[in-house]
Structure 1
Amino acid sequence: MSLSNLSAYMNRSTRYVLDNTAKILRMEGAKEPSRAPMTLFTFQTREDLKQFATGCDADIGGTSTLHFDLDESPERNKGISGDLATARFWGEMRLDVRPELRGRIRGGYAGFRSKPRPSLFGEICDDVSNHQFLGLRLRLGGDPRLRNSYFVNIQTDGPVTTDLWQHRLYFKRSDGEWEDIFIPFDNFILTNTGELVQHQITMFRERIRTVGISLLGGNSGVSGAYDLGIHSIRAVNEEDVTKPPSMEKDPSFGA
């Protein structure tokens, strides 16, 4: 293990101890649960981006491309006060696959998600049980035909590792500027390996394991250049929602 990885591992171990100590104190009534906004992930440094894994259909024989970079462009980052860099998720969404795999696999997807966070005492998870909404600050670019093909995905620390909570990202803006999107945690749909789970249950928000965003052009049959800026992912409550949230459950989920 490299020195930088060892340092990150020990930092996570320290956080695990502090977080669990805080939970014990709350159980004893020493402190009321906080409703303050909780920042889950930021995307301002290269170290921030190392917390995420990426993948697309090219990994199994598709032809889409994927880039996940630190974006220091003043033009694309205008409107983000105080932050000089964000993440940029971009590439080409293609539905075709290599000739020898046609009819055997389906192309048309790309995505990124946070990596699991092991520590000396156990895996770090986020407790958002005191928060109502997932808040994302995003910038939509690329081919406008792809705007309805983005989904946000949440994995909880449950017994079925292939379970994924999913919700479509509904963008309001079409001018390439930054916007905040708020989604009630209760409106996420439980899926498993791309299929809707018949018996829906309540999300276990006490232990959020990973969060990510996927582009599913293959589901909607749309290809083209995609370009998404990501500033932050947070958990918030109603008093911190600055724009109307996505209030309806969307059954049109993707794989």
Structure 2
Amino acid sequence: MQSWRQIYWGRTRKQFVDGLTDILKMTGADPPSRAPHTLFSFNSQEDLRMYATGCDADIGGNSTVNLDLDEASAPHTHIQTHNARTTHATAKFWGDMRLDVRPQYQGRVRGGYAAFRNKPRPTLFGDILDNIEFHEYLALRLRVSGDPITHNSYFVNLQTNGPITTDVWQHRLFFRKKNEWEDVFIPFRNFVRTNNGELSEIQLEMSPHLRSVGISLLGGNSAVSGKYQLNIDSIRIVNEEDAVSDLGNLA
């Protein structure tokens, strides 16, 4: 297990090497890449250490939140070995969504949320940001289960390097399947600006430099409670020509 210092200097070294390579290869003169790009994977304990979780229990509520490695519900990959498709572990975001709060906090706080997002990625040259300027869609490979009543209360949350640090760009997650893997594609243009949990009256253009990507379950917004579970395999950026599910070809 790497310490935070090893992770920090590893990121810094990679930033330096990548920047030097770009200079030597003069990649700035090349057309921008529109190829699909994986922002985050959820396939190992090392991957999961990059994420932070939170829920209303942090402020007096009774919900629970967990983000664990799940090796029992892995999706098929594209790799085949001896005519058998291999599988890999994924993350399991799960817990109990509760609307009630502890007695001493009644009337003072609102229950009903759980969330995770990637942690900041600092280096000697500043935080790592992901450039989405030349990609149209956020692509998430997911499998929703848990109580069906919770399925319509998931949201994707983006933070950028925009001028207002408390802004969160949000879009509801819509699922076509239950307890099956699927790819969900969300156009970046459809995300809306929120601040402090409320829709902002003024909708600005979203910065193309992503600081964090996260998923939340907002049961308090729709009076939804119950056991929730969402498995996550990857988060990518793609374009329209790539926005087709690969999972249908793996049945």
- Same fold? TM cut 0.5: yes
Corresponding residue of 1:229? 231
Query: Which portions of structure 1, spanning 4 or more consecutive aligned residues, are displaced by more than 3 angstroms?
Result: 18-27, 78-83
Does structure 2 retain, via aligned residues, the 8 Å contact 1:79–1:178?
A: no
For the aligned residue pairs, the C-alpha RMSD in angstroms reads 1.7
SS at structure 2 position matched to 1:148 = helix
Work out the CA distance in 1 between the residues paired with 2:240 and 2:86: 25
SS at structure 1 position matched to 2:204 = coil
Corresponding residue of 1:12? 11
Work out the CA distance in 2 between the residues paired with 1:15 and 1:168: 34
Q: Which TM-score applies when normalising by structure 1?
A: 0.88
- The answer as to 2:56 corresponding to 1:77 is no
Corresponding residue of 2:198? 195
Residue 67 of structure 1 deviates from its aligned partner by: 1.1
- The answer as to 2:157 corresponding to 1:157 is no
Corresponding residue of 1:37? 36
Work out the CA distance in 2 between the residues paired with 1:49 and 1:78: 17
Corresponding residue of 1:59? 58
The amino acid that maps onto 1:212 is G
The amino acid that maps onto 2:161 is D
Q: Which moved more, 1:110-119 or 1:193-202?
A: 193-202
Corresponding residue of 2:48? 49
Unaligned runs of 5+ in 2: 78-84, 246-251
Corresponding residue of 2:82? none
Corresponding residue of 1:240? 242
Work out the CA distance in 1 between the residues paired with 2:86 and 2:6: 27
Work out the CA distance in 2 between the residues paired with 1:180 and 1:201: 28
Residue 121 of structure 1 deviates from its aligned partner by: 1.2
Work out the CA distance in 2 between the residues paired with 1:40 and 1:201: 24
The amino acid that maps onto 2:217 is L
Corresponding residue of 1:250? none
Q: Which moved more, 1:182-191 or 1:153-162?
A: 153-162
2:207 to 189, 201, 204: 204
Aligned residue runs from structure 1 range 47-126, under 5 A: 47-73=46-72, 76-80=73-77, 82-126=86-130
Q: Which has the higher strand share?
A: 2
Q: Which TM-score applies when normalising by structure 2?
A: 0.89
Residue 197 of structure 1 deviates from its aligned partner by: 1.4
Distance 1:171 1:130, change over 3 A: same
Unaligned runs of 5+ in 1: 244-255
